[in-house]
Amino acid sequence: MRARYVLSEAALGLWRNVTMTIAMIITMGMSLWFLGGSGLLFLQVDKIRDLYYSQVEVSIFLAPDITDEQRAAIDQSLSTDPMVASYYFESREQAYERFRSLFADSPELVAATDAESLPESFRVRLTDPERFTEISDRYRSVEGISEIVDQQELVGEIFSILNAIQIGALAFAIIMACASALLVMNVITVAAYSRRREVAVMKMVGAPNWFIQIPFVLEAVVAGLIGTLVAFGLLAGGKVFFIDGPLAPLSTVLTPVPWRNILLTLPALALFATILCATTAWFTLFLRLPK
Amino acid sequence: MIRLERVTKTYPKAARPSLDNVDVWIEKGEFVFFIGPSGAGKSTIIKLLLREITPTKGRVVVNNRDVGNMPSWRIPTFRRSIGCVFQDFRLLPNRTAYENVAFALEVIGRSQGVARRVVPEVLELVGLGGKEHRYPHELSGGEQQRVAVARAFVNRPLVLLADEPTGNLDPDTSIEIMRLLDRINRTGTTVVMVTHDSNIVNQMRRRVIEIENGRVVRDQPRGVYG
């Protein structure tokens, strides 16, 4: 009987103020969507970083007039350098092959370039990709080296963009979470007002406080969980129709988002929504209900 | 049963205290009227006894419990030992007479089975047999107050507090309600009633405590309104 009373009161509360309830569910959904997206990106960034760092190379371009002795000396010092994980030599011909396949779309450019104009290089993989500058400092002044380029600088820019997106999504999620908390307060205030007679009688006859409060809290939590389902639907839809759809060819650059991560957002967002709604509802009741 | 010991209550921003050093001792099973002009402090006493407010100074003891120093989590259980009736009835308009009384039982965790057994009994006691399924708006003022009394009494409280229970009723109906409160008092329930209905006080000839400007100016067994 009591359980039925609590559930029917909570359902009635949601229905009585249905426009506000919908507004609350939508803002909650948006907030959780961005929160979930930001969380997924956070998991993704680590994976993208691992992927890039495993592929990233330092290119040591050699001067055109390098002598065989100089080349052999560089080869020698790279082979004994503890910071070098592996390296290989790329000749002019190999560089030209790569250039051709890279610019296969622009035959004029390929035709205008001959193998002689491309530099020889050593392609070096570091044991610790973060310590690029040390390598760079050590070899920059060596005879026969024209330039040292680290692909990591490019990767760094990609990461700063990803970071900015992630922070932006998180900021938006927080702002929307504040908006939905305010809406929860409003919904609970209206509910407390429309049930003021029942609350007064319950206080008078000595109903326990948790029993008086639970329909209100449940009302807010149910709305929050519906918002969670909305957010989860948007995230799953985003994977199916966006990441696995038009963005699928980019999976070598942006690591694919596994379903496991998407499914992980459901309990995480539900927990967040429950805590946010329940504490906001309790706080509002503390302010609004007679003592 | 009920003791007010040197109780002073000053509301915030009030120039003078609503109750000023009041000493009252009420035995179990007594029937007591608090009378006095509006603003004398009568309702403050009811609020203190219900622990809606706490005294500024002094001690309030109800059913051997120090109400003023009671932690707030004990209040619900404490209130189950007290029944309340107010001038404005405070019934739930969308519930029948039966449901109004049953609600008071259910929200403190009594089963529906208990309600089915006890509620018709208490409605019969207050003289509403046959009107269990009427809504408040289908009942007269006197009948609505009977529902309120039934709700207050259904838990068999040790104390019944009545704050101007006849304030909205005509004289004949008021007398019926007083008969009902008298019957409840005879079952051993202490009744504390705040009123300024002189007819009723004069007819009942029970203990009268008169309050004026927050002080007890008269305490008389079998008193009249004066």
Closest-CA residue of chain A to B84: A204
Give first-to-last CA distance, chain B, whole Å.
27
Report which DSSP code applies to A243: I
Q: B156 — contact with chain A (CB < 8 Å)?
A: no
Q: What percent of chain B shows pLDDT beyond 70? A: 100
pTM of the model: 0.76
Q: Report the pLDDT averaged over residues B45-63.
A: 94
pLDDT at res. A128:
77
Contact criterion met (CB < 8 Å) for B103 and A201? yes
For the cut 60, the answer to whether the pLDDT of residue B107 exceeds it is yes
- Tell me which of A237-251, A265-279, B3-17, B31-45 is least confident: A237-251
Q: Which of A204, A209, A214, A286 to mutate to test the interface with B (most CBs of B within 10 A)?
A: A204
pLDDT at res. A142:
81
Q: Is B38 helix (H, G, I), strand (E, B) or coil?
A: coil
Q: pLDDT tens digits, residue range A1-44?
A: 577 788 888 888 888 888 989 999 999 999 999 999 888 888 88
Contact criterion met (CB < 8 Å) for A206 and B151? no
Q: pLDDT tens digits, residue range A158-172?
A: 778 878 888 888 899
Q: Long-range pairs for A5-10 at CB < 8 Å and ≥24 separation?
A: A5/A215, A5/B106, A5/B107, A6/A211, A6/A214, A6/A215, A6/A218, A7/A218, A9/A195, A9/A215, A9/A219, A10/A215, A10/A216, A10/A218, A10/A219, A10/A222
Residues of B in contact with A205 (CB under 8 A): 79-80, 84, 104, 107-108, 151, 155
Q: B111 — contact with chain A (CB < 8 Å)?
A: yes
Contact criterion met (CB < 8 Å) for B155 and A205? yes
Residues of B in contact with A209 (CB under 8 A): 73, 76
- What does the block give as tokens for B164? 């101007």
Which among B73, B79, B92 has CB closest to A206? B79
What is the C-alpha separation between B14 and B41, in angstroms, rounded? 13
Q: B79 — contact with chain A (CB < 8 Å)?
A: yes
ipTM: 0.91
